[in-house]
């Protein structure tokens, strides 16, 4: 599993923040601990999720191997997702609620 540099960097920053938080907690430096603790969870959590998630190519290979991959379904799902995202953008930029927009 190849690791992407930004994901590993985010994970590294999160681990450094965690180490700093532990150090500042043990030395009773409250304000520094709060800052390090605050930085730990967004960086460490995001880094772990991004490093551990399966890559798209790997998922497609696994689905093809099992015989459950269908290119038409994948294309249809992408089209539907793009349409939903466009509707959400339109709703965000208009004054109307999303369910009142023309589909």
Asked if residues 21 and 37 have their Cβ atoms less than 8 Å apart, the reply is: yes
Give the span between the Cα atoms of 62 and 44, in whole angstroms: 28
What's the token pair of residue 18?
A: 């965690």
For the segment 69-82, the average pLDDT, to the nearest whole number, is 83
Which pTM value belongs to this model?
Answer: 0.57
**Is the pLDDT at 27 greater than 90, yes or no?**
yes
pLDDT of residue 52: 83
* Alpha-carbon gap, residue 70 to 65, rounded angstroms: 12
Mean pLDDT computed over every residue of the chain: 83
Residue 28's pLDDT band, with cuts at 50, 70 and 90, is very high
Q: Is 85 exposed, middle or buried (0-12, 13-18, 19+ CB in 10 A)?
A: exposed
Q: Which one is predicted more confidently, 4 or 36? A: 36
pLDDT of residue 97: 61
Judge whether residue 31 has pLDDT over 90.
Answer: yes
């Amino acid at each position: 599993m190849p690791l992407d540099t930004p994901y590993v960097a985010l994970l590294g920053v999160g681990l450094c923040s965690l180490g700093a938080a532990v150090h500042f907690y043990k030395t009773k430096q409250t304000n520094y601990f709060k800052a390090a603790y605050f930085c730990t969870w967004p960086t460490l959590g995001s880094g772990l999720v991004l490093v551990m998630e399966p890559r798209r190519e790997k998922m497609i290979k696994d689905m093809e191997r099992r015989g459950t991959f269908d290119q038409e379904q994948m294309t249809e799902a992408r089209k539907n997702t793009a349409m939903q995202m466009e509707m959400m953008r339109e709703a965000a930029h208009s004054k109307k609620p999303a369910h009142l927009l023309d589909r």
